[in-house]
């Protein structure tokens, strides 16, 4: 018995040190899996319990089975916006390709250090009773842990890039005119500016000067007008939220993009506010650059990301066309989510018609727009969706954007259904079929869309997206085909190529058949400097031109 006690007294300090060393050697998680992808957001398989915090930045990457970690390709940059104990919701700040379930999200170096400091602090407190103090005052050591630390990494985080651009357009039509334009672009991700809760994020592109000549609006010009950028105030300790810039109303994304502002106040789970501005986005269903819109709304949100979550918005708005009264309507937007498996989304607009206003021969309430989508994903490799859409009026979006895929959501009027299957080697196929029938149609027509995405095109390292669509809608009938190729050469060189053909027969446009090819190249030749070049060739019945773009920029 004496010998046993001797061995016990000899080995217990070693065991205690081993336990303490194991606790201190543990590290917070820095890699997470994407377990669900939604519109503009992703959900990770780790949350507050894994050391994540709101505002943390992560880089999403993708690699083939068997590849080394260093071969992983960057997919997107995301920021944590909401947390549960074992999951996190992240906003997609930028992306190089479509995110997929199973992609890996890596915590940034700065946020890793922050998580490690917090985790170490928790571990030290947990095992404080095991450690024996041979010198110093334990009370002073405990107080030292509460000495103010440096500000969080998201405070005064300023990232982005600014560039000066020059564009030359050569018209191959009858005029044979040419023109030169100078412009500027800005991409920014600035959080907690000046230690406040103001954030400035998004992308802006503007024209500074233009010489006389062709003067036509090109496909590149139209795409440059689809950007979002703004200054946002969001303080978790405040009842007020606000935003100003070119943006969507966060609680009613079905409304048009506005050049304006919103202001709202939170009352627990209820948010009420006002908004107003012009409508500059050429991909809007009811697009007119001379329109102004203002309104008020109320939103209620309930549930959590770990179970059932609900969001419902109701509001009223009015529009003016060149400051003449146009529409007054009510809008509703509701969504229900059950984890990553099931979701229902519905938005609706109802007009209050006034006889004689802008040629209207009716008066009273009338349904002007309705869109319903139901999505079911029983497994990460397959997802189904069902859609039903109704639009009372003929659209006014710019038909030249059909081949870019930005108007796809408006082509399937009526009832449609689709499926998406994720295949091995980061490939996926998707399709959507719809049956359209209008009051003036003698028989129903079928709308079709087929797509193929390849995460790796053979040994070339390219990513590809191929799509074909055939449609018969209220604005016309036709088809388009588009192909997109992307290639990253390390971290410094990036290339993209998009080609498309569209054939539209419509009484609202004389464009008819059109072919386009766009090419872009970005070269980050220094730590803070980059050059970009690109070219667009467009051949159509109305527009027939070449455009060359060059820019020199600085990133910070």
The CATH number of whichever domain residue 115 belongs to comes to: 2.40.10.410
Residue 312 lies in a domain: no
Structural domain contains residue 167: no
Q: Which of 133-147, 496-510, 530-544 has the lowest mean pLDDT?
A: 133-147
Which tokens sit at 421? Answer: 């299957």
Q: Which of 47-51, 153-157, 319-323 has the least mean pLDDT?
A: 153-157
Going by C-beta distance under 8 Å and a sequence separation of 6 or more, which residues neighbour residue 176?
A: none
Residue 22 lies inside a defined structural domain of this protein: yes
Least confident range of 73-77, 211-215, 302-306:
211-215
Tell the residue number behind the tokens 């190089």, with chain if given: 96
Could you tell me the two tokens for 475?
A: 């604005």
First-to-last alpha carbon distance for the chain, in angstroms, is: 70
Specify if 41 maps to a domain. Answer: yes
Residues 6+ away with beta carbon under 8 Å from 264: 240, 241, 242, 251, 271, 272, 273, 274, 297
Domain assignment present for residue 111? The answer is yes
What is the reported pTM? 0.67
- Tell me: the pLDDT tens digits for 139-194? 555 555 555 556 667 778 888 899 999 989 888 877 777 888 888 999 998 988 98
Phi, psi of 16 (to 5 degrees): -65, -45
**436 within domain boundaries:** no
Share of the chain above pLDDT 70, in %: 82
Domain count, the chain: 1
13-35 confidence digits (pLDDT tens): 434 434 444 444 456 788 898 88
Provide the residue range defining the domain that includes 19.
2-144
**Averaged pLDDT of the chain:** 81
Domain assignment present for residue 383? The answer is no
| Residue 149 placed within a domain | no
């Amino acid at each position: 018995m004496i010998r046993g006690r001797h061995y016990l007294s000899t080995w217990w300090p070693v065991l205690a040190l081993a336990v303490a060393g194991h606790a201190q050697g543990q590290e917070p998680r820095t890699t997470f899996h994407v377990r669900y992808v939604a519109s503009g957001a992703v959900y990770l398989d780790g949350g507050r319990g894994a050391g994540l915090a709101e505002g943390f930045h992560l880089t999403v990457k993708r690699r083939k089975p068997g590849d080394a970690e260093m071969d992983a390709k960057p997919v997107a940059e995301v920021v944590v916006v909401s947390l549960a104990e074992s999951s996190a919701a992240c906003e997609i700040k930028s992306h190089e390709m479509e995110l997929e379930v199973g992609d890996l999200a890596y915590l940034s170096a700065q946020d890793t250090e922050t998580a490690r400091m917090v985790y170490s602090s928790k571990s030290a407190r947990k095992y404080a009773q095991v450690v024996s103090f041979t010198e110093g005052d334990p009370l002073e050591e405990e107080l030292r842990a509460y000495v103010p630390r440096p500000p969080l990494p998201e405070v005064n985080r300023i990232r982005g890039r600014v560039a000066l651009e020059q564009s030359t357009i050569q018209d191959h039509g009858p005029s044979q005119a040419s023109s030169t334009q100078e412009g500027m672009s800005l991409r920014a991700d600035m959080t907690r500016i000046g230690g406040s809760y103001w954030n400035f994020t998004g992308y802006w592109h503007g024209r500074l000067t233009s010489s006389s000549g062709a003067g036509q609006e090109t496909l590149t010009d139209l795409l440059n007008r689809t950007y979002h950028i703004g200054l946002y105030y969001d303080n978790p300790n405040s009842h007020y939220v606000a935003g100003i810039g070119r943006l969507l109303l966060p609680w009613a994304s079905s409304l048009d993009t506005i050049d304006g502002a919103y202001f709202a106040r939170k009352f627990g789970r209820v948010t009420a506010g006002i908004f107003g501005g012009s409508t500059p986005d050429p991909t809007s269903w009811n697009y007119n650059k001379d329109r102004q819109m203002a309104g008020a709304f109320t939103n209620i949100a309930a549930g959590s990301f770990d179970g059932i979550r609900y969001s419902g918005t109701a509001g009223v708005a009015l529009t003016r066309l060149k400051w003449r009264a146009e529409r007054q309507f009510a809008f509703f937007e509701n969504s229900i989510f059950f984890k990553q498996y099931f979701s229902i989304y519905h938005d609706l607009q109802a007009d209050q018609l006034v006889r004689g206003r802008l040629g209207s021969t009716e008066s009273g309430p009338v349904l002007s727009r309705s869109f319903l989508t139901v999505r079911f994903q029983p497994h990460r490799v397959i997802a189904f969706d069902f859609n039903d859409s109704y639009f009372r009026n003929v659209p006014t979006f710019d038909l030249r954007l059909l081949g870019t895929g930005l108007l796809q959501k408006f082509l399937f009027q009526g009832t449609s259904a689709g499926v998406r299957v994720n295949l091995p080697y980061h490939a996926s196929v998707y399709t959507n079929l719809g049956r359209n029938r209008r009051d003036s149609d003698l028989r129903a027509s079928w709308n079709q869309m087929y797509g193929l995405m390849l995460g790796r095109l053979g040994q070339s390292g390219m990513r590809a997206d191929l799509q074909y669509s055939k449609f018969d809608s209220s604005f016309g009938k036709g088809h388009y085909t588009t192909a997109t190729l992307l290639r990253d050469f390390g971290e410094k060189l990036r290339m993209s190529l998009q080609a498309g053909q569209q054939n539209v027969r419509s009484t609202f446009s004389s464009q008819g058949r059109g072919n386009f090819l766009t090419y872009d190249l970005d070269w980050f030749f220094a730590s803070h400097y980059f050059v970009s070049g690109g070219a667009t060739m467009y051949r159509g019945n109305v527009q027939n031109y070449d455009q060359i773009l060059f820019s020199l920029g600085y990133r910070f």
